[in-house]
Structure 1
Amino acid sequence: MPDTMIPATSTTQGVPPRSSSWVRALKVFAWLSFISETIIIGTGGAVRLTGSGLGCSDWPLCTPDSLVPILEVQGIHGIIEFGNRLMTGVVGIIALAVVLLVLYLFSGKRGLVNALWFALGGIVAAVAAFAIATPLHFPASPIALAVLLVAVIAAAVRSVRTTPTRRDLVLLAWLTLIGVVAQALVGGITVLTGLNPFIVGFHYTSSLLLVCITAAFLVRLKTSPGPRERAVPAWFAAVTHVTGLALAVTIVFGVLTTGSGPHSGDADVLRHGFDATVLAHVHSWPGYILAALVLFLTVSAWVLRLEPRRWLLVLVLAILVQVGVGIWQAREGLPPLLVGIHMVLASLSAATYTVVVLRLKRPVPVDA
């Protein structure tokens, strides 16, 4: 029985209609991508907060002789670290599924086949790089993964340039997959450098950005393509972007504060030398400014009945919870569970802010 055809919607407008099952699959995998990117922040936080950062002492293997942890040797720390590595694979598979579905819907079979050829070429090139680097005693695995990353970027550039419509969705899907591959490389470097605190912080921040990208994909998936116009006053848009700056500064100082505190990922890892007590206060200052700005935007949006008012309400609640958890964890001596909740909430707050920014504009009416 042939697939049921669907009319053009905000998702499929501008391309030949595809089967409704493929569109539903894209929506499901898009949500799974967002959820998995959020979960991996939690699992990555668990690795760091339980001191399991070097539970697997090697990479990409867990030990020089074993892919999986040996319970008698690594214990629970090895299981936690290996579980996070497995979660990276899950995130990557879901991101790849989103890319393939987007290409099939908006580039057709030709675009999908071209991407698969790039993937095959990237795998062959990565294997060749590994084979060449190994006898030369170069870091073969990072080099091979870097070659694969370059191939993914090349495939993304070609796909975005050749896709006839909805390039925004194609770009966001590829950015997520590129980010996952890059994160795998950064994760390996993190282990090989003995949990360098700056690389660990960069690893978390990059994961947070991927949560924002997957959130943006979900928003754009429900938005009609074409020109867009500002849906809010200019001053409101300006204050919103200033709020984004305050959010970014708050997150950066939060990462530095965590890296200076007791949760470095392993008991023997040196921190980066900053005073955690001082940084905790510095981290709170932009946090309070952020809360005030978000509250101001929320009240203004509801008074003026602006488009992003409901998402601003979600954001102000998320920020207030963040402030409460931050104060609580500071008074309790940074218990791991509260720190982990704080990390996940930061990513969700950033994702919500991303939705708010995307709601600042709306599609230009067709008659215009």
Structure 2
Amino acid sequence: MPAAIAKTGGGPGATATRPAVWGRALRILAWLSFLTETIIIGTGGAVRLTGSGLGCSEWPLCTPESLVPTPEQGIHGVIEFGNRMMTGVVGIIAIAVVLLVLHRIGGRRALVSSLWFAGGGIVAAVVAYAIARPINKDLAFPVAAAVLLLVVIAAAVYSVRAATERRDLILLAWITLVGVVAQAFVGGITVLTGLNPFIVGFHYTSSLLLVCVTAAFIVRLYAAPGPRERAVPKWFAILSHVTGLALAVTIVFGVLTTGSGPHSGDADVFRHGFDATVLAHVHSWPGYILAGLVLALTISAWVLRLEPRRWLLVLVIAIAVQVGVGVLQAREGLPPLLVGIHMVLASLSAAAYTVVVLHLKRPVAQED
């Protein structure tokens, strides 16, 4: 169990076994959060790749009269609604992680404060909905969701500022929850704008970043608390961050390529007009540079026996498989299954890189 979790357990009346139980629960929830954030990229990809982006024509309802898909909407409605249900699962787990972290680190006072924020947020959202509906019923729910998002952000800021230790865990947990609420809001905007490809791309990129955040939470959960120092040579750290830039550029051009290709989410949706063939080549250039940089880092790390060497090996494997799938899907005419695998692999590659970066530093040795 992470030292910080054991240290902050239970309060005066806690038993010897309770901290271990809570620590185990938090680890399980952390891994579930990472897993579900990855899965929702797959379900979101399925929505787009099967042309089900408008399977539910409304938001938050599926149709103007029904919350769930109707038989007339067929399989497309089922796929789109399934992705929306997955958002609910992700959100519940994110809430559980926040509450458990607050209780373990800040005690009952921090937990009660967050619950007060939750109650206030719900009331504020209901009031906003009631005010907005007579003005424009189509915008009433987005306005309410925006108000709820602002309250969640306010709760996060308050919790982080009030914490006296392990602010890293509290901050990462809140970022995940804020991100999930924001993603639900952006998902609604995506439907209301008729699957605008730029918003769809932003939606995917944000989901990928949440996978990275949940991966970072797991790493910090297992890490010792306290100040940290660089565990690698300066040149290695710089090259690692350059590699991150190459990864980001590769992902951005991949998103643009997908947005210009045949998988827009619905047959009637207008793409953003870029030449997909040209973008596919442009997308591959930083991809090959990325592969070379990761290989160089991995060889250097193993020769010098640096801290992140094992996770760099994981990243090499992820990038190699990603490149292979990318080449294969281009040659086979972008079959939906391979495109979906490529999307999920991109998130896992970014998560592996996040773990590598977090291993560039180590806890400062404490003097006795």
Task: Sort the TM-score into its range (normalised by shorter chain).
Answer: over 0.9
CA distance in 2, matches of 1:124, 1:154: 15
1:100 and 2:96 correspond: no
1:137 and 2:122 correspond: no
- What residue is the counterpart of 1:81 in the other structure? 80
Whether the 8 Å contact between 2:260 and 2:272 is mirrored in structure 1 is yes
CA distance in 2, matches of 1:12, 1:113: 21
- Give CA deviations for 1:308-354 in whole Å, capped at 9, x if unaligned: 00000000010000000000000000000000000000000000000
Structure 1 runs (4+) deviating above 6 angstroms are none
SS in 1 for 2:362: strand
- What residue is the counterpart of 2:223 in the other structure? 223
- The offset of 1:16, in angstroms, is 6.2
TM-score by length of 2: 0.96
- Give CA deviations for 1:48-93 in whole Å, capped at 9, x if unaligned: 000000000000000000000002x100000000000000000000
CA distance in 1, matches of 2:233, 2:220: 22
CA distance in 1, matches of 2:168, 2:8: 13
Residue 40 of structure 1 aligns with an amino acid whose one-letter code is: I
- Give CA deviations for 1:212-246 in whole Å, capped at 9, x if unaligned: 00000000001111110000000000000000000
CA distance in 2, matches of 1:228, 1:236: 17
Residue 297 of structure 1 aligns with an amino acid whose one-letter code is: L
CA distance in 2, matches of 1:309, 1:11: 27
- What residue is the counterpart of 1:40 in the other structure? 40
Whether the 8 Å contact between 1:11 and 1:223 is mirrored in structure 2 is no
SS in 2 for 1:113: helix
SS in 2 for 1:229: strand
Residue 244 of structure 1 aligns with an amino acid whose one-letter code is: G
Whether the 8 Å contact between 2:3 and 2:225 is mirrored in structure 1 is no
CA distance in 2, matches of 1:25, 1:345: 28
1:331 and 2:331 correspond: yes
Q: How many residues align?
A: 361
Whether the 8 Å contact between 1:123 and 1:148 is mirrored in structure 2 is yes
Of stretches 13-22 and 254-263 in structure 1, the one that deviates more from structure 2 is 13-22
In the TM superposition, 1:64-213 aligns within 5 A as 64-71=64-71, 73-137=72-136, 139-213=139-213
Residue 335 of structure 2 aligns with an amino acid whose one-letter code is: P
Give me the CA root mean square deviation.
Answer: 1.2
SS in 1 for 2:6: coil
Whether the 8 Å contact between 1:246 and 1:287 is mirrored in structure 2 is yes
Alpha-carbon spacing, 1:248–1:48, altered in 2? closer, same or farther (3 Å):
same
- What residue is the counterpart of 1:237 in the other structure? 237
CA distance in 2, matches of 1:198, 1:123: 30
Gaps of 5+ in 1: 1-5
CA distance in 2, matches of 1:302, 1:106: 37
Whether the 8 Å contact between 2:201 and 2:256 is mirrored in structure 1 is yes
SS in 2 for 1:12: helix
SS in 2 for 1:326: helix
SS in 1 for 2:3: coil
Alpha-carbon spacing, 1:92–1:22, altered in 2? closer, same or farther (3 Å):
same
In the TM superposition, 1:276-355 aligns within 5 A as 276-355=276-355
- Give CA deviations for 1:278-302 in whole Å, capped at 9, x if unaligned: 0000000000000000000000000
Of stretches 157-166 and 300-309 in structure 1, the one that deviates more from structure 2 is 157-166
- What residue is the counterpart of 1:11 in the other structure? 5
In percent, how many aligned pairs have the same letter?
A: 77
Residue 111 of structure 1 aligns with an amino acid whose one-letter code is: A
- The offset of 1:12, in angstroms, is 3.3
CA distance in 1, matches of 2:305, 2:182: 41
- What residue is the counterpart of 2:252 in the other structure? 252
Whether the 8 Å contact between 2:329 and 2:339 is mirrored in structure 1 is yes
- The offset of 1:13, in angstroms, is 3.5
SS in 2 for 1:362: strand
Gaps of 5+ in 2: none
- Give CA deviations for 1:9-31 in whole Å, capped at 9, x if unaligned: 24334666662211111110000
Residue 194 of structure 2 aligns with an amino acid whose one-letter code is: G
CA distance in 2, matches of 1:278, 1:12: 54
CA distance in 1, matches of 2:336, 2:329: 9
CA distance in 2, matches of 1:35, 1:350: 14
Residue 153 of structure 2 aligns with an amino acid whose one-letter code is: I
SS in 1 for 2:5: coil
Whether the 8 Å contact between 1:14 and 1:165 is mirrored in structure 2 is no
Whether the 8 Å contact between 2:4 and 2:166 is mirrored in structure 1 is no
